[in-house]
């Protein structure tokens, strides 16, 4: 099959809508369940490229959680520790590597992952299907599915959950095109290979780039390759913890991603882990409540008449002082940027979220200022020489 008709395009008024192969060959995907939409497929194809490259770069099963053609999170399949199991709500049962990868990708930003499209580098197994079953998600793309996993996924969303199988050997043409305003654009595909060699040009006084930092920076750079620009990504422990996408200003990317990283870290605070939620609270409501609880307006959920909606008993507030002290313990974070930092203010903001390692293309007329700011905080920064804009 070389053509698939879609319900509509980006919006219901945009009809007709379809995907097809210009050369007449078969589409590289098979819809095993549900019906994929226009945005679903954009998410599916971009997220699949991300996890495929991440698996090739790290040798580990990889997953991504996509929303509106940018990743809310991406991760490799490292085992979850006790705190991660609590913050990602996976229960105590050990998970397979690919299930762990998805739990960590989804857990990077659970608010943004609401209604995501999931991508898996490896076969979707029963563990992963059971995670997807309980989350609000629009669909999943993977190279294959176990019979049990497919059976589980077919019960989701009243049987309408979108399940896509992709040919892992499919290779697109080296030149790609797209239309805008009736005009066709053409460019070579971005086939740049992201690996440790890209981090060899360390421009700061501190040149001690750890193996874990190298892996995190590779993860960040690959993530940015499929994130709407401008974009900045914070990573720690083999997962993204904050992605700032589609901002017009670099500092706004850095702030947005940094704020998300802070929220990710604050979710690990003992007071958050001990919140006495009601047993029957819905998962999205729990995520929303946690987000408000650790925000600047916790009274929205702790006020009289409100806390009873979510909690068995009224919890103590997480004070501004407590949050500030907790965030001071955040360390070892890696930061990647899809284009150069024009000012040192990006580094100043990144430092507040525990950043110790930075990768960016370099090439700004103010590179010396950015390098000096990194040196001030004993950070390690590598100039990759490669811009990763994605539109």
Look at strands 162-166 and 29-33 and give their pairing. antiparallel
Phi-psi region of 70 (alpha: psi -120 to 50; beta: other; left: phi over 0): beta
Q: Which residues pair with 185 in a beta bridge?
A: 178
Residue with tokens 């070579």: 188
Catalytic residue among 22, 93, 211, 391: 391
DSSP run (H or E) holding 48: helix 38-58
Pick the closest to residue 102 from 68, 53, 142 (CA basis): 142
Query: Six-digit token pair at 142?
Result: 């993977």
Catalytic residue among 33, 40, 130, 230: 230
Backbone phi, then psi, for 162, in 5-degree steps? -80, 120
390 is catalytic: no
Residue 260 DSSP label: H
Number of Cβ within 10 Å of residue 384's Cβ equals 23
Do 63 and 77 form a contact (C-beta atoms < 8 A)? yes
Catalytic residue among 40, 52, 55, 67: 67
Q: Using CA atoms in the order 36, 281, 70, 65, what is the torsion angle rounded to 10 degrees?
A: -70
Do 253 and 244 form a contact (C-beta atoms < 8 A)? yes
Backbone phi, then psi, for 27, in 5-degree steps? -60, 145
Dump the DSSP string for 280-334: T--HHHHHHHHHHHTSS-THHHHSTTTGGGTBSSPPPP--HHHHHHHHTT---EE
Pick the closest to residue 269 from 317, 307, 302, 236 (CA basis): 317
Query: What totals of helices (H) and strands (E) does the chain contain, helices first?
Result: 13, 15
- Active-site positions read 67-68, 230, 391
């Amino acid at each position: 099959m070389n053509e698939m008709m879609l319900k509509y395009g980006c919006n219901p008024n945009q009809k007709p809508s379809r995907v097809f192969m210009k050369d007449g060959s078969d589409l590289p995907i098979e819809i095993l369940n549900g019906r994929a939409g226009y945005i679903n497929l954009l998410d599916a194809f971009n997220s699949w490229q991300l996890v495929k490259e991440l698996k090739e770069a790290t040798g580990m099963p990889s997953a991504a959680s996509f929303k509106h053609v940018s990743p809310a999170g991406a991760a490799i399949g490292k085992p979850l520790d006790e705190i991660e199991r609590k913050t990602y709500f996976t229960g105590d049962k050990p998970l397979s590597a690919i299930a762990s990868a998805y739990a960590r990708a989804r857990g990077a930003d659970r608010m943004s992952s609401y209604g995501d499209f999931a991508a898996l580098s490896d076969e979707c197994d029963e563990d992963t299907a059971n995670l997807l079953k309980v989350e609000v998600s629009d669909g999943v793309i993977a190279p294959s599915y176990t019979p049990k996993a497919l059976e589980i996924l077919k019960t989701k969303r009243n049987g309408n959950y979108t399940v896509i199988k992709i040919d892992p050997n499919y290779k697109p043409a080296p030149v790609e095109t797209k239309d805008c305003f009736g005009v066709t654009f053409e460019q070579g595909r971005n086939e740049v290979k992201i690996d440790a060699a890209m981090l060899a040009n360390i421009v700061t006084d501190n040149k001690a780039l750890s193996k874990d930092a190298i892996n995190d920076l590779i993860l960040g750079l690959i993530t940015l390759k499929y994130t709407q620009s401008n974009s900045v990504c914070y990573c720690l422990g083999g997962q993204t913890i904050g992605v700032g996408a589609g901002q017009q200003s670099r500092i706004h990317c850095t702030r947005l991603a940094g704020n998300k990283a802070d929220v990710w870290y604050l979710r690990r605070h003992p007071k958050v882990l001990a919140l006495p939620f009601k047993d029957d609270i819905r998962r999205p409501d729990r995520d929303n409540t946690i987000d408000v609880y650790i925000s600047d307006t916790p009274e929205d959920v702790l006020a009289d008449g409100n806390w009873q909606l979510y909690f068995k008993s009224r919890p103590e507030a997480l004070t501004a002082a407590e949050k500030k002290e907790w965030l001071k313990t955040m360390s070892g974070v890696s930061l990647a940027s899809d284009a150069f930092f024009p000012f040192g203010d990006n580094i100043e903001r990144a430092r507040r979220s525990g950043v110790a390692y930075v990768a960016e293309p370099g090439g700004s007329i103010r590179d010396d200022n950015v390098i000096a700011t990194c040196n001030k905080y004993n950070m390690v920064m590598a100039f990759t020489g490669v811009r990763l804009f994605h539109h």
